[in-house]
Amino acid sequence: MAAKKQDVDTDTDDEAPKSGFDPKAVNIGGESIADRLMPHIKKILSMVVIVAAIVSAVFFMRWRKAVKEENKTAQLVEVMDTARTQIDPTPEAAKPGSPPPDPSFKTPKDRADAVLAAMAKSGADGGPLYKAGALYEAGNYDEAITTYQTCTNTLGLDGVLCREGLGLAQEQKALAEKDNAAKQKGLEAALATFASMQPDETGDRYAYALYHQGRVQQTLGKTAEAKALLEKAKTSAAADPGSQDPRMGMYALPSLIERRLAQM
88 Ramachandran zone, left/alpha/beta (phi>0; psi -120 to 50): beta
* pTM for this model (two decimals): 0.64
Asked if 209 contacts 195 with a C-beta cutoff of 8 angstroms, the reply is yes
Separation of alpha carbons 77 and 181, rounded Å: 43
- At 235, the amino acid letter reads T
pLDDT for position 110:
84
pLDDT for position 230:
96
SS3 105: strand
SS3 87: strand
Q: Using alpha carbons, select from 39, 115, 46, 27 the residue that is nearest to residue 77.
A: 115
What value does the mean pLDDT of the chain take? 76
Q: What's the DSSP call for residue 247? A: G
Asked if 110 contacts 85 with a C-beta cutoff of 8 angstroms, the reply is no
Q: What are the tens digits of pLDDT across the range 208-248?
A: 999 999 999 999 999 999 999 999 999 999 888 777 666 66
Mean local confidence (pLDDT), 105-125: 80
Q: Using alpha carbons, select from 140, 161, 141, 139 the residue that is nearest to residue 152.
A: 161
Separation of alpha carbons 5 and 71, rounded Å: 96
Mean local confidence (pLDDT), 245-255: 75
Separation of alpha carbons 143 and 148, rounded Å: 8
pLDDT for position 45:
66
**Is 136 or 26 the better-scoring residue by pLDDT?**
136
Separation of alpha carbons 124 and 122, rounded Å: 5
193, with CB counted inside 10 A (0-12, 13-18, 19+), is buried
**Helices 206-219/223-238 angle, 10° precision:** 160
Percent of the chain at pLDDT exceeding 70: 59
pLDDT for position 8:
44
State the sign of the Cα–Cα–Cα–Cα dihedral 128, 133, 135, 136.
positive
The contacts of residue 186 (CB under 8 Å, 6+ apart) are 170, 171, 173, 174, 175, 177
Q: Using alpha carbons, select from 171, 156, 151, 159 the residue that is nearest to residue 213.
A: 171
Asked if 102 contacts 91 with a C-beta cutoff of 8 angstroms, the reply is yes
pLDDT for position 116:
81
pLDDT for position 233:
95
**Is 148 or 97 the better-scoring residue by pLDDT?**
148
Q: Flag whether pLDDT at 24 surpasses 90.
A: no
Q: Please give the biggest Cα pair distance in the chain.
A: 142
